[in-house]
Structure 1
Amino acid sequence: MATIPSNDDSSASESVSLSMPRRLRSPLAKATTSVTVNSSHIQQNIPNHSGTSGGSESVPIVQDDLPQWSQNFRVEALPNFVKKIGPAAVSTEMSYPSPHKIFCEFFTDEMVKHITFHTNLYATQKGKPFIPTTEDEIRVFLGINLFMSVKKLPSYRDYWSSSPDLNEAYICDLMTVKRFSFLLSHIHSNDNSMMPKRGQANFDKLFKIRSLVEMLNKRFAQCYQPHQKVAINESMVKFKGRSSMKQYMRDKPVKRGYKIWMLCDDLAYNLKFQVYTGRLATEKSELGLGAQVVSDLCEEHYGKNHIVFMDNFFTSYNLFVLLKAQKTSAVGTVNPARKLLPKLKEDKKMKRGDFDSKVSNHGVAFYKWMDKRAVNLIPTMHDPSDTTSVNRKENDGSTTVVACPRVLSDYNRSMNFVDNFDRLKRRLWL
Structure 2
Amino acid sequence: MAAAEHYTAEDAQDVEEEDFIHNFRQPGDEDDMSDRQSSSSDDGMDDEDIAGPRLRQRVADTFEWKNRAYEYAWLGEYTENAGPRLHDVDSSIFDIFHHFIDDDMLQLMVRETNKYARKLILNAGNVDNSNLKGWRDTDVNEVRAFIALILGLGMVRHGRYESHWSTHWLLDHPGFRSIMSRNRFFLLLRCIHLVDDDDALPREDPNYDKAFKIRFFMNHVVNNFQTAFYPSRNVSVDESVIAFKGRVGFKTYHPKKPHKRGMTAWTLADSKTGYVFNSKLHTGNNQANGHATQVTVMNLCLPITGKKHHVYMDNYFSSPDLFTQLADEGLGACGTLRTNRRGTPDAIKNANPAVGDSVFERDGKLLFVAWTDKRKVSVLSTVHNSMTFDRQVREGHGPNHRVINKPCAIELYTQYMGGVDQADRLIWTYLHIHKSAEWWKKVFIYLLEVSFVNALIIYRCFRPDERVRSDKLRLELIDSLLANYARPSTRAGRRSQAPPRRLTERHFVSINDAKTPAGRQTTPDCVVCSKRGVKRHQTPYMCKECNQPMCPAPCFERFHTLVDYKAECTKEYHK
What is the CA–CA distance in structure 1 between the aligned matches of 2:382 and 2:286, rounded to whole Å? 29
Matched, 1:107 2:76: no
- 2:428 corresponds to: 426
- Superposed CA deviations along residues 215-270 of structure 1, whole A, max 9, x for unmatched, are 11101111111110000111212223333333221222222222221111111111
Unaligned 5+ segments in structure 1 are: 1-18, 20-66
Spell out, residue by residue over 1:198-220, the C-alpha distance to the aligned partner (whole angstroms, 9 max, x if none): 23212222111111100111011
Q: Give matches, 1:265-414, under 5 Å.
A: 265=270, 266-281=272-287, 283-284=288-289, 286=290, 288-344=291-347, 350-361=353-364, 363-384=365-386, 386-393=387-394, 398-414=400-416
Aligned-partner Cα distance in 1 for 2:227–2:179: 32
Equivalent in 238, 262, 265 of residue 243 of structure 2? 238
Deviations 1:99-124 (A, max 9, x none): 33332222111111111111122223
| Paired residues of 1:75 and 1:359 also in contact (CA < 8 A) | no
Q: What corresponds to 2:66 in structure 1?
A: none
Unpaired runs of 5+ residues, structure 2, are 8-69, 123-132, 432-448, 450-575
- Contact kept, 8 Å, 2:348 with 2:361, in 1: the verdict is no
**What do residues 316-357 of structure 1 show as CA deviations (whole Å, max 9, x unaligned)?**
111111111111000011111111111116767521122122
Q: Which residue of 1 aligns with 2:77?
A: 80
Q: What are the superposed Cα offsets for residues 160-198 of structure 1, whole Å, 9 maximum, x if unpaired?
A: 345454443322232223322221111111110111222
Distance 1:143 1:394, change over 3 A: closer
Does structure 1 retain, via aligned residues, the 8 Å contact 2:268–2:420? yes
What residue number does 1:258 align with? 263
Match of 1:145 among 133, 147, 150: 150
Q: Which amino acid letter does the alignment assign opposite residue 249 of structure 1? A: H
Preserved CA contact (<8 Å) 2:348 2:368: no
| Correspondence for 1:71 | 6
User: What residue identity is the alignment partner of 1:203?
Assistant: Y
Q: Give, in whole Å, the separation in 1 of the partners of 2:254 and 2:111.
A: 37
User: Aligned match of 1:176 in 173, 181, 185?
Assistant: 181
Q: CA deviation at 1:302?
A: 0.8
When the two chains are superposed, the root-mean-square deviation of aligned CA atoms in Å is: 2.5
Q: CA deviation at 1:412?
A: 0.8
Report how many residues are paired.
357
Q: For residue 84 of structure 2, what is the amino acid of its counterpart? A: P
Distance change (3 Å), C-alpha of 1:348 and 1:367: closer
Give the aligned partner of residue 219 of structure 2.
214
Partner secondary structure for residue 355 of structure 2: coil
User: For residues 75 and 154 of structure 1, what CA distance do their matches in structure 2 show?
Assistant: 53
Once the two structures are superposed, what CA deviation does each residue of 1:6-34 show, in whole Å capped at 9, x if it has no partner?
xxxxxxxxxxxxx5xxxxxxxxxxxxxxx
The answer to whether the 8 A contact 1:389-1:402 is kept is yes
1:76 deviation in Å?
4.0
Task: Write the distance in 2 (CA, Å) between the matches of 1:151 and 1:427.
Answer: 12
Shift of 1:391: 2.4
1:133 deviates by 1.5
CA distance in 1, matches of 2:71, 2:233: 19
Letter in 2 for 1:148: L
Aligned equivalents of 1:308, 1:163: Cα separation in 2: 52
**What is the CA–CA distance in structure 2 between the aligned matches of 1:179 and 1:428, rounded to whole Å?**
23
Could you give the per-residue CA deviations for residues 271-301 of structure 1, whole angstroms, max 9, x where no partner exists? 11122222235x32x2x22111111111110
Is the Cα–Cα contact under 8 Å of residues 264 and 417 in structure 1 kept in the other structure? Answer: yes
Matched position secondary structure for 2:346: coil
Moved more, 124-133 or 100-109: 124-133
Corresponding letter in the other structure for 2:390? S
Q: Which has the higher strand share?
A: 1
Alignment of 1:19-98 (within 5 A): 19=1, 68-71=3-6, 76-77=72-73, 79-88=76-85, 90-92=86-88, 95=90, 97-98=91-92
Q: Equivalent residue for 2:119? A: 125
Cα offsets for 1:126-150 (capped at 9, x unmatched): 4538522111111111111111221
- Summarize the Cα distance change of 1:375–1:161 in structure 2 as closer, same or farther, 3 Å threshold: closer
- TM-score, normalization: structure 2? 0.58
- Contact preservation (8 Å) 1:91, 1:105: no
Q: Which residue of 2 aligns with 1:50?
A: none
1:102 to 1:318, Cα distance in 2 relative to 1, 3 A: same
The structure 2 residue matched to 1:249, chosen from 248, 254, 260, is 254
Q: CA deviation at 1:87?
A: 1.4
CA drift at 1:308: 0.3
Preserved CA contact (<8 Å) 2:351 2:359:
no
